[in-house]
Amino acid sequence: MVGPPSAFGIDLHLELRGPGLRAGLTDALREAVRTGRLAPSTPLPASRALAADLGVSRNTVVESYAELIAEGWLTARQGSGTRVANRVEPRRAAPEAPTARPDTRRPSHDLLTGSPDLSHFPRTQWLTAARRALTAAPHDALGYGDARGRMELRAALADYLARARGVYAEPERIVICSGFHHGLTLMAQVLRARRVGAVAVEAYGLDLYRDLLTNAGLHTRPLHVDEHGARLADLVRLHEASAVLMTPAHQYPTGVALSPERRTAAVDWARATGGLILEDDYDGEFRYDRQPVGALQGLDPQRVVYFGSVSKSLAPGVRLGWMVPPEELVPEIVTAKGHGDYMTSALEQLTLAEFIASGAYDRHVRSMRQRYRRRRDQLVEALRHRAPGIRVAGMAAGLQTVLELPRGTESSVVQAAARQGLAVSGLTQFRYEVADRGRPLPERDALVVNYAAPSDSAWEGALDALCRVMPQQGRYGKDETEHAGGRSAHAFAGAAAETGDEREAHPRQAPWPRGAAP
Amino acid sequence: MVGPPSAFGIDLHLELRGPGLRAGLTDALREAVRTGRLAPSTPLPASRALAADLGVSRNTVVESYAELIAEGWLTARQGSGTRVANRVEPRRAAPEAPTARPDTRRPSHDLLTGSPDLSHFPRTQWLTAARRALTAAPHDALGYGDARGRMELRAALADYLARARGVYAEPERIVICSGFHHGLTLMAQVLRARRVGAVAVEAYGLDLYRDLLTNAGLHTRPLHVDEHGARLADLVRLHEASAVLMTPAHQYPTGVALSPERRTAAVDWARATGGLILEDDYDGEFRYDRQPVGALQGLDPQRVVYFGSVSKSLAPGVRLGWMVPPEELVPEIVTAKGHGDYMTSALEQLTLAEFIASGAYDRHVRSMRQRYRRRRDQLVEALRHRAPGIRVAGMAAGLQTVLELPRGTESSVVQAAARQGLAVSGLTQFRYEVADRGRPLPERDALVVNYAAPSDSAWEGALDALCRVMPQQGRYGKDETEHAGGRSAHAFAGAAAETGDEREAHPRQAPWPRGAAP
């Protein structure tokens, strides 16, 4: 298949000038073999011939061949010269440019849970903190770090968490992680090593975390959730559960706070049984009607593992979180991490430490709190006028709220929304518990609305789209709801056609994260 | 225990002015309970009394009490007023400031493996890339991302890896991770899910990675390492091993390249058995005597999982790495990651993408290559004059080299070095295989010297200290070596006294990372 040596040079676009002559030849030959332009077993020109043709020294060609033989692209046998090895898989043509993800269709309006308003990420202040942090960092801060994370960040967090969340957090017991997902992964390893069999989890929550625990070899058991939060009394009959995963400050996603009695009951259970409480404080900074409820961890730091992150306060793309475990657990978590910090960027840890210490973090949280409070007020007000039968459940807190729907309408409302290009979650997808001691539990129809996710410019349209698809008072049931969707389908015909059916548009790896992730 | 209400206010240093009055009171009370200053069951003053005393409205006190009741710090019972709850663990006094790590003693000279020269981290260029990347990023880049990582980085890497390492890397099959440790953790999960029983590993390497595989539920089996690299022929008798972890370009830490025959044999084995090759290309960019050997992955992208990271090329503190698996494995790795990118910062991924695309990465690698090459030349030259009996083994490549020692002297040389304040690893600590089919394998005495780790200013002293402790030609054996160390102990008396015994100074979680980590 090889043409005369001269064609060979031209065909491969060899740059035969300057330093790197041999490297260029080697690369070109390697590429030719890999792309299949030089087929397996093809004999190569004798080194002398190729050298003469290319106007290079024979040595250059010999060395080039030797290198490719060393790498396995070519073979050399006494008497038969150099040939293309026949074990090389031809490389298929690579795409010219990275192709777009196949699933980039986006909803016109996005009220799915998970993200804060990313358009307000404090880019300038973050870069300022990064510059300050990197300028001040000693060289060895860039090396392999302490498994617990950078001391600068742990010190800043100890101060912040005690002040803002009532967490009992000495820097020595804080462990930095890449967010709640990573923290729970580490904790699952620790529980597994401690031969914990089962973890109780709230009956409403993200299947992502239930799956994480299951994949780590732990069983999960649902705990009822009612208007006072998780029903702690049920823990007693879950004999094999020696840990419980909870969102006490703001149950995710139903939006209620754990009642004082149950906070007490949780700690009592942990003390009586030696159990552990895993407290996921995913959005504790955001409360709009009063001071936030402090962390449960403050009640008994020896029985609670506290988790927090910047995913709601800053952005999920900054992969930083923290866990505050009982002191005795720190060595086990360090073991689970592999005795070093192999996950979390030192530069970003230093940046966040500077960002908190400079007060920029508090300023950002305060500013976003006002913004989200306004959004929630607007949501409540709009629904009062346009869908007066709909109850807004849960506290004035966090990034999402629950809208109670008439019985049996959730699925059709979600579908009607999708047809309008509005992405919003039904509560059912967060439901874990379906039966209580054999008796099926009543369905609860509701939407989980992440009013924090849209940018300011997108919010108004999203709110309008939401109001349009809400069932009107007195008109319950499937037909009415579909009609509600159909009524305004005209105005959104383009979006509806583009978005298609919601169930299809929300596969497990949806183009927009589905219910991702406190 | 509570004094009169007036003392109460003063004692707690309440700031009773301006907005946040109630919050200030609540915090002060909470802190008093937590620190044990207010003991369990202590009755609190009536709200009217405390309000009068503090000069605030009674409502402020009532709300403050209610909040603390909600959080479980206080209890209220009909008729007995408000009391401190008796389930609250008294908080021990937190340290005033973060204490220094107890193990911050550092060696005077550090030639341990693991780190590049961190003093040359391109801080300015990195910050420039960060600014450009964050300025250009769309808002949704800051949200939850594709489990494979940011497309910008995968596209930049696809180009770089094909060009510089001969890796067959379409962006679609690249998966970003936090470095080799994370990549191997994911891969171990995949292998476990595939019911792989055992992984063959090179008989010299880091126990960190062997432990990681073991902890993931996999067995490990040693593969001999000789001057041609890992002995692939032995794979045949390891029937249960269906994956092999290797460092083909530059065996870690013995420093040899896998021979062409064995590269072929590795791919043949994988094809014949359906096995997988895990290629840890930890320092493939650094070769000083010729072009680097290309990646094994290029020979058969369907049977090799390629791993790389910036830990050697930039800094371990930037937690970014990549894996290039066969296409069919991508979904399994995505599952192991939890269907989202919960580990790796989007901002840092975008920064590295910009850093590579702008050419800064290539410039940095080239500049460091020259620097390390010079260091290695200086090392070889110094030993030639000052310890002519010592052989420098392995290729002119990478960040570390192996110095062969006379039989039976390794341990005493390492100890003598420690007494001089020189931290350097013996080869023995990397040794996994101790016997071959029941017969004990010969010991191999050597030092693993990371000549890349010191800063420029520290290098000369480290090299001098190394030469001092090397056994002199013709003077073999324990006594002579200790003498060699003792000979110069005088000049280093301070350092020696400070550093103490090397074994003690290098516990598993050493102040300077021990053999951490390609």
Band of residue B243 on the pLDDT scale cut at 50, 70, 90: very high
B388-447 residues touching A, CB cutoff 8 A: none
Q: Torsion-angle region of residue B217: left (phi > 0), alpha (psi -120 to 50) or beta?
A: left
Q: Is 60 exceeded by the pLDDT of residue B331?
A: yes
Reported as a single tens digit per residue, the pLDDT across B333-379 is: 999 998 889 999 999 999 999 999 999 999 999 999 999 999 999 99
Closest by Cβ to B98, choosing from A115, A142, A151: A151
Yes or no: say if B427 and B448 are a contact pair by the CB < 8 Å rule: yes
Yes or no: say if B481 and B471 are a contact pair by the CB < 8 Å rule: yes
Asked if B146's CB is within 8 angstroms of A139's CB, the reply is no
Q: Kindly state the average pLDDT of the residues B171-197.
A: 96
- pLDDT of A60: 87
Asked whether the CA dihedral B80, B82, B86, B90 is positive or negative, the reply is negative
pTM for the whole structure: 0.79
- pLDDT of A72: 83
Taking contacts as CB-CB distances below 8 angstroms, the residues of chain A near B508 are 339
Structure tokens at A130: 């990064």
A319-358 residues touching B, CB cutoff 8 A: 319-320, 334, 338-348
Q: What is the DSSP string of B145-202?
A: --TT--HHHHHHHHHHHHHHH-----GGG-EEESSHHHHHHHHHHHHHHTT--EEEEE
- pLDDT of A25: 84
Adjacent-strand bridge partners of A402: A393, A448
Closest by Cβ to B319, choosing from A63, A158, A345: A345
Q: What type of residue is B199? A: V
**Residues of chain B by 3-state class (helix, strand, coil), percent to 5:** 45, 15, 40
- pLDDT of A87: 61
SS3 B425: strand
Most B-contacting residue of A144, A152, A232, A303 (CB-CB within 10 A), to test interface:
A144
- pLDDT of B89: 54
Taking contacts as CB-CB distances below 8 angstroms, the residues of chain A near B119 are 139
The C-alpha of B237 sits at a distance from chain A's nearest C-alpha, in angstroms, of 23
Most B-contacting residue of A27, A187, A302, A319 (CB-CB within 10 A), to test interface:
A319
Instruction: Compute the mean pLDDT over every residue in chain B, rounded to the nearest whole number.
Output: 82
DSSP annotation of B257: P
| Angle between helix B456-469 and helix B478-487 axes, rounded to 10 deg | 140
Reported as a single tens digit per residue, the pLDDT across B419-442 is: 989 999 999 999 987 676 777 777
DSSP annotation of A204: B
- pLDDT of A272: 93
In A, minimum Cα distance to B142 occurs at A317
Q: How far apart are CA A429 and CA B29, in angstroms?
A: 41
- pLDDT of A66: 86
Share of chain B above pLDDT 70, in %: 82
B159-178 residues touching A, CB cutoff 8 A: 162-163, 166, 168, 170-172, 178
Asked if A130's CB is within 8 angstroms of B127's CB, the reply is yes
- pLDDT of B93: 41
B343 membership: H or E segment, kind and range: none
DSSP annotation of A104: -
Q: How far apart are CA A436 and CA A328, in angstroms?
A: 36
Q: Is 60 exceeded by the pLDDT of residue B475?
A: no
Asked if B143's CB is within 8 angstroms of A316's CB, the reply is yes
Taking contacts as CB-CB distances below 8 angstroms, the residues of chain B near A87 are 264, 267-268, 299-300
- pLDDT of B11: 31
B118 membership: H or E segment, kind and range: none
Asked if A346's CB is within 8 angstroms of B317's CB, the reply is yes
Taking contacts as CB-CB distances below 8 angstroms, the residues of chain A near B517 are 144, 340, 342
pLDDT tens string, chain A, 518 residues long: the values are 333 333 333 233 343 444 567 777 888 888 778 776 677 777 788 888 778 767 788 888 888 888 888 888 888 877 778 888 876 554 444 444 344 343 445 788 999 878 999 999 999 999 999 999 999 999 999 999 899 999 999 999 999 998 889 899 899 999 999 999 999 999 999 999 999 989 999 999 999 999 999 989 999 999 999 999 999 988 878 777 899 999 999 999 999 999 999 999 999 999 999 999 999 999 999 999 877 888 999 999 999 999 999 999 999 999 999 999 999 999 999 999 988 899 999 999 999 999 999 999 999 999 999 999 999 999 999 999 999 989 999 899 999 999 999 999 999 999 999 998 999 999 999 998 767 677 777 789 999 999 999 999 999 999 999 999 998 754 444 433 333 333 332 322 233 333 333 333 333 333 333 333 44
Reported as a single tens digit per residue, the pLDDT across B450-468 is: 999 999 999 999 999 999 9
- pLDDT of B487: 33
Taking contacts as CB-CB distances below 8 angstroms, the residues of chain A near B307 are none
Least confident of A281-285, B57-61, B328-332: B57-61
- pLDDT of B84: 84
Q: Is 90 exceeded by the pLDDT of residue B76?
A: no
Asked if A334's CB is within 8 angstroms of B155's CB, the reply is no
> ipTM, 2 decimals?
0.78
The C-alpha of A94 sits at a distance from chain B's nearest C-alpha, in angstroms, of 6
Reported as a single tens digit per residue, the pLDDT across B215-232 is: 899 999 999 999 999 999
Taking contacts as CB-CB distances below 8 angstroms, the residues of chain A near B509 are 147, 334, 339
- pLDDT of A334: 95
Q: How many CB pairs under 8 A join A and B?
A: 288
Q: C-alpha angle with apex A417: A414 to A420, nearest 5 degrees?
A: 155
B247-306 residues touching A, CB cutoff 8 A: 257, 260, 263-264, 267-268, 290-291, 293-294, 296, 298-302
Distances from the Cα of A270 to the Cα of A200, A275, A299, A324, A487, angstroms: 12, 4, 11, 16, 53
Adjacent-strand bridge partners of A229: A226
In A, minimum Cα distance to B104 occurs at A146
